Chain A
Amino acid sequence: MRFIPFRTPGLAALSLAVSGLPALAEMPAGISHFKLNNGLEAVVIEDHRAPVVVQMLWYKIGSADEAPGKSGIAHYLEHLMFKGTDKLGPGELSKTVTANGGMDNAFTSYDFTTYFQRIASDRLPLIFDMESDRMANLKIGEDDWQAEREVVLEERAQRTDSDPSALFGEERNAVQYYNHPYRRPVIGWRAEMEQLTREDAIDWYQSHYAPNNAVLVVAGDVSADEVRKLAEQYYGPVAPKDDALRQPRPQEPQQVAARRMSREDPRVPQPTMIRSVLAPERNPGDQKSAAALTVLAALLGGSPQTSVLGQKLVLGGKALFVDAWYDGLTVDQTTFALSLAPTPDISNEDAEKALDAALQDFLRDGPDEAQLERVKTQIRAAEVYKQDSAHGRAYDYGQGLAIGLGIEDVNDWSSILAEVTPDDIRTAAKLVLENPATVTAWLVPPPDAPPADPEAAVSAPGPATSTADPVDNPEASE
């Protein structure tokens, strides 16, 4: 549920859902891992089924590392990274990738900033050359930085200010985190974004962009030896920086009181609720709690027909939708969250009571063994399906290493998931479901709002859908 701005709209974010990798003590087949002398860590994922390669360069720096008052600088710099170097003109990197039949993009989150390209595998030297070049030689022209600041403000307008759910999420995070910088939106607060300067961007770049603060992931039709050779050639000469590494951030004080908020917006068609609680993240050599929380989320909300909350609330007629989620791939304390949308004839209070009752039952009865077995079967099956997407696996390794896990932690994750016991689930459930220090947030239409009328919003009678669906367009692009 993290808001991750992309440089370009319309690109479906790959799923960040936690899922496993080959359960082997040693390096799984097709996976290699090495480190250059300048500190750049690299992972190679071989998949020779198609002549395609993905390069992802993950910098271990994100919006949660920004100084107070400078929110949005990590993401703004991500945009400015396309404005050229001594060798490349503004926009030339993307144009070169495109002209070679590839695609490229970038995204920023709380804990990392990532650049990637997908291209024919024989063009790997080209994208290594350009990506390593902008690791050290970024040039932000006097003419470019102000127009790009307008672009990120438009991005904020489109993705946050125009979307009541996004505005709600932003405010909810600020209630969830009183002190930790996860309380600030990745894209930044508008008033602070408007004041960001070229100097701020250059300072951010020079402080944090260095090979010893980055993870290179290459996935596809390549060999580990070839990648290592090319990495030495292109990235090897880039000098490390002593103080580039992430500094510890202010941490959350202990939360004691339950917090509640309610946000009204006339653009909201129906009430929804999210309840979250602070929870431990995945840590090197210490992923057991996170694994139990991951399985717990699947048991509670994974399927509308078979999950605990799906059966009690959705099949029980109390909610249109329920969900439970947990994302342990964070540097600092994360959250475990539940959500629901009440059915039209159920009050918000009654829906919440029904949720509480279902959770109390679960705490009393513990997990259903057959359901736990089915969830684990799906985790094992996901391992197999995962092999179908080199890009998806690049994501798992890149994000894991970028938030500070070791490669073995990423490799071991699926076996740790498979070993979760009913007792582990009970312990995890007590941790997140018995904790009174919750944040319960409702997003609701105004009290006197008439039910949303599909006809009312359009100027003329008659409904409609998007113009001809491109479902069958053989040339529709991603």
Chain B
Amino acid sequence: MIRAIATFVFLALATLPARATDIQEVTSPGGIKAWLVEDHSIPFTAFTFMFRGGASMDAPDKRGAVILMTSLLEEGAGEMNATQYAEAVETLGARASFDASDDAMVLSARALSENRDEAAELWRLALTEPRFDADAIERVRGQLQAVIRSEATDPQSIAAKELARQAWGDHPYATSINGTRESVAALTRDDLLDAKARLMARDRVIVSATGDITAEELGPLIDKVLGGLPAEGSAPLPEKAQLALTGGVTVIDWDSPQTVVAFAQESLPIDDPDYFAAFVADHILGGGGFSSRLMEEIREKRGLTYGVGTTLSNGAYGNTWQGGLASANAKVAEAIPLIRAEWDRMAKDGVTEKELTDAKTYLTGEYPLRFDGNGRISGILAGMQLVGFPRDYVNTRNAKVEAVTAEDVKRVAARLLSSDKLRFVLVGRPEGITSDPAE
């Protein structure tokens, strides 16, 4: 089903306590590869089945097909209608959530050890024999339309959408994975079958498991769940997106006491030699919460916002350096120049040795904390595979952070950061700010 509140798949790659360093690669008898971390201390296993391309695999003019299709996988499969299928899952005490993002479609699942194979049979049915019954399609379509309506009245969504529209040209990244009222209204059952064929195939799948299962048990389970899928997807994976963002200001009128601000500029890919230098720079600039320069200047010193932050947004098909804040309509004109100033200060002067040391201590210390549960580890293993990292990344990652010098940070900041490149999208009634004349 579509949930009333959008859920996000969180796949931070993480980290590495002793046990996570031992990532096994398992090849099923049928030839499907999976990553596994065994931990038999709790009698359940967390699984992640991920399909590359995600909602960006929507066919032209069929925007929303992947998310609607994904949401219908648990709404009836094999001989069971939606209610019977859900009852079967509940009877086992199993859990499964189906979701899609720009880059991947994900089934995150948990099963008790006592009935793991029965749970796997239910996932097989959902992935290979979904029914797409007419009544379920109409019901879930109605829910998706409600989400689309909600996005249209949510200033955060409005800002993000406008920024993406300006950034990504005719790439799927430029539009909402949920589609539009018109595109979703027009989707047929055949479109859903086509979306499934484009996306869900054995050459697109990523598998990980963490918990109470051995490599010998995992292989056959994978074949059971995925063996019935086609060998190859019916459409090629998405092209890389070309960033079309220009510097400037876009104001969208919205009747609210506060202005929501989203901003972005060009960034670098995750395999760039300076990626970790940029990662450290972002932490100091705006990614590091209360320790960041932007938080200090805009919230702590002046009380202009409840929160401001930045992040390196690295998608499979495109990258931005982006951020956001919300500030009262009367104050936002004071906050924006502070962001610009910090942006350029970083580009010009880099960071201090103290900032660098503190950032590295945090980033390397925080990494292992992410590996603290079967569910989280399974998500991390799948995320690593999606990005194309090797299994030993968890053991080499902190050394890459440690190797970053102040010189590296300054170089990458000078190369990338410029307030002239920043596009700000403001949704609200900001006093003293208007869109660029060109808008």
Chain A residues with CB under 8 Å of chain B are: 8-10, 49-52, 82, 90-91, 94-95, 98-103, 118-120, 146-155, 157-159, 161-162, 220, 266-270, 303-306, 311, 314-315, 317, 320-321, 341, 343-344, 370, 374-375, 377-378, 380-381, 384-385, 387-391, 451-460, 462-478
Q: Which B residue's beta carbon lies closest to that of A386?
A: B42
Within B267-306, which residues are at the interface with A (CB < 8 Å)? 270, 279, 287-291, 296, 299-306
Contacting residues, chain A, for B260 (C-beta < 8 A): 162
Q: Say whether B162 contacts A460, CB under 8 Å.
A: yes
Q: Collect the chain A residues with CB atoms within 8 Å of residue B340's CB.
A: none
CB-CB under 8 A for A458 and B160, given A154-B306, A374-B87, A467-B320: no
Contact B101 A311 (CB under 8 A): no
B228 at the interface (CB under 8 A from A): no
Cβ-based interface call for B353 (8 A): no
Report, as a range, how many residues of chain B touch the other chain: 35 or more
Measured between alpha carbons, how far is A120 from B364 in the docked complex, in Å? 11
Give the segment of B28-36, B91-99, B218-226, B229-237 that binds chain A: B91-99
- B102 interface neighbour in A452, A453, A469, Cβ under 8 Å: A469
Q: In this assembly, does B41 line the interface, its C-beta being within 8 Å of a C-beta of chain A?
A: yes
Q: Is the CB of B17 within 8 A of A465?
A: no
Taking CB atoms, residues of chain A closer than 8 Å to B130 are: none
**Docked-complex contact A465 and B102, CB < 8 angstroms:** yes
The reply to whether A52 and B369 form a contact with Cβ atoms under 8 Å apart is: yes
Query: Are A98 and B255 interface neighbours, CB within 8 A?
Result: no
Q: Most chain-A Cβ atoms within 10 A of its Cβ — which of B86, B327, B366?
A: B366
| Interface contact B178-A270, CB-CB below 8 Å | no
- The contact sample of 16 A-B pairs, CB cut-off 8 A, is A99-B361, A100-B362, A150-B302, A152-B306, A154-B258, A305-B85, A306-B87, A315-B83, A320-B146, A389-B373, A464-B176, A468-B317, A471-B101, A472-B104, A474-B270, A474-B387
The A interface is mostly helix, strand or loop, or mixed, namely: loop
Q: Are A120 and B158 in contact (CB under 8 A)?
A: no
B372 at the interface (CB under 8 A from A): yes
Instruction: Report if A341-B93 is in contact (Cβ < 8 Å); known contacts: A388-B374, A471-B54, A471-B383.
Output: no
Taken together as a complex, chains A and B put the C-alpha atoms of A149 and B306 apart, in Å, by 10
Q: With A119-B369, A472-B316 known to touch, is A49 a contact of B41 (CB < 8 Å)?
A: yes
Interface status of B153 (Cβ within 8 A of chain A): yes
**Contact between chains at A464 and B326 (CB < 8 Å):** no
Whether B13 is near chain A, meaning CB under 8 Å from some CB there, is yes
Fill in one digit per residue for B370-393: 1 if any A CB lies within 8 Å of its CB, else 0: 011111000000011011010001
Question: Is B90 within 8 A of A162, CB to CB?
Answer: no
Chain A residues with CB under 8 A of B145: 344
Contacts of A99 in B (CB 8 A): 291, 358, 361-362
Closest residue to B144 on the A side, CB-wise? A320
* One of B307-315, B344-352, B411-419 at the interface: B307-315
Within 8 Å CB of A374, what residues of B? Answer: 87, 90-91
CB pair A9–B75 under 8 Å, yes or no, is no
Contact present for B290 and A8 (CB under 8 Å)? yes
Q: Knowing A162-B257, A306-B83, A384-B44 touch, does A9 contact B306 (C-beta < 8 A)?
A: yes
How close is A267's CB to chain B, nearest CB, in angstroms?
5
Q: Is the CB of A269 within 8 A of B146?
A: yes
Query: Do A475 and B13 have beta carbons less than 8 Å apart?
Result: yes
B-chain residues with CB within 8 Å of residue A452 when the two chains form the complex: 149-150, 152-153
Q: Is the CB of B254 within 8 A of A457?
A: yes
Cβ of B116 < 8 Å from any Cβ of A?
A: no
Query: Which one of B163-171, B187-195, B197-205, B402-410 is at the interface?
Result: B163-171
Q: Mark B47-67, 1 if CB is under 8 A from A, else 0.
A: 000000010000000010000
Contact assessment for A464 and B175 in the assembled complex, using a CB-CB cutoff below 8 Å: yes
CA of A162 to CA of B12, assembled, Å: 30
* Neighbouring B residues of A159 by C-beta, 8 Å: 306
Do A472 and B387 touch (CB < 8 A)?
A: yes
Question: In whole angstroms, what is the CA distance A180 to B142 when docked?
Answer: 39
Quick check: A465 and B314 within 8 Å, CB to CB?
A: no
Q: In the docked arrangement, what's the CA distance between A146 and B164, Å?
A: 37
A472 to B315, CA, bound (A): 6
Further 12 A-B residue pairs, CB within 8 A, beyond A389-B373, A468-B103, A474-B14? A8-B289, A100-B362, A154-B306, A162-B258, A269-B152, A314-B139, A344-B142, A381-B93, A385-B44, A462-B165, A464-B163, A468-B318
A-chain residues with CB within 8 Å of residue B108 when the two chains form the complex: none
In the complex, chain A residues whose CB is within 8 Å of the CB of B196? none
Contacts A49-B41, A385-B110, A473-B312 given; indicate if A91 touches B300 (C-beta within 8 A).
yes
Contacts of B315 in A (CB 8 A): 467-473
- Check if B255 sits within 8 Å of A315, measured CB to CB: no
B161 within 8 A of A: yes
Closest 9 CB pairs of A and B: A101-B365, A381-B93, A150-B303, A468-B315, A474-B13, A464-B161, A305-B86, A269-B149, A9-B307
A473 to B148, CA, bound (A): 26
A241 to B249, CA, bound (A): 55
**B252 with A458: CB separation less than 8 A:** yes
A451 to B364, CA, bound (A): 49
Q: Is the CB of B320 within 8 A of A154?
A: no
Q: How far is it, in angstroms, between the C-alpha of A92 and the C-alpha of B129 when the chains are bound?
A: 56
A381 near B112 (CB under 8 angstroms)?
A: yes
CB of B368 within 8 A of chain A? yes
Determine which residue in A152, A341, A388, A454 has the highest number of CB atoms from chain B within 10 A of its CB, and name it: A454
Contact A471 B369 (CB under 8 A): no
CB distance from A257 to the nearest CB of B (A): 30
Given contacts A50-B369, A99-B358, contact A454 B87 (CB under 8 A): no
Q: In the complex, A391→B175 CA distance in Å?
A: 37
Residue numbers in B under 8 Å from A466 (CB-CB): 160-161, 163-164
Q: How far is the CB of B202 from chain A (nearest CB, A)?
A: 20
Complex Cα–Cα for A49 and B317 (A): 35
Q: Quick one: which of B12, B149, B291, B435 contacts A475, CB cutoff 8 A?
A: B12
Question: How far apart sit A456 and B168, CA to CA, in the bound complex (Å)?
Answer: 20
Contact assessment for A149 and B110 in the assembled complex, using a CB-CB cutoff below 8 Å: no
**In the complex, what distance in Å separates the CA atom of A131 from the CA atom of B383?**
35
Central interface residue in A103, A269, A377, A478, by most chain B CB within 10 Å: A269
Point out the residues of chain A lying under 8 angstroms from B90, CB to CB. 303, 306, 374-375, 377-378
Once the chains bind, are A465 and B178 in contact (CB under 8 Å)? yes
Q: Mark B319-333, 1 if CB is under 8 A from A, else 0.
A: 110100011100000
Known contacts A10-B309, A94-B291, A452-B152; decide if A381 and B257 are in contact (CB<8 Å). Answer: no
Chain B: which residue is nearest A384 at the CB level?
Answer: B44
A52 near B372: Cβ-Cβ < 8 Å: yes
